[in-house]
Amino acid sequence: MESIIPLALGFILNLIIYKMATILNENQKRSVIISLIFGTSTVLLGLLTRLVTLSDIGIGMLIATVFLFAFLLGKKKMEQARS
């Protein structure tokens, strides 16, 4: 149960970063890339400092990035199917 909390925290943190990047950029593709960079850098920082919790937060962020990418890809495919 203890390892679920940092993953969930990273997931929520990445969604917040994505939303802020989308507000600033108005470009969803660039926002996903920003989320990916933040997640990867958090994992690497956790591995370099040997902090398991920080690595778990980064893994949660990367999981959120995969979900965001899949959601945006599905949304794009639905828009293409309508037109």
Break the chain into its structural domains and give their ranges.
Answer: 4-82
In this prediction, residue 1 carries a pLDDT of: 52
Q: Is the pTM of this model over 0.85?
A: no
Under DSSP, the state recorded for 83 is -
Residue 23, classed as helix, strand or coil, is helix
Cβ 53 vs Cβ 6: under 8 Å: yes
| Averages of pLDDT over each 10 residues, the chain, 83 residues | 80 88 82 86 88 87 88 87 83
Cβ 43 vs Cβ 62: under 8 Å: yes
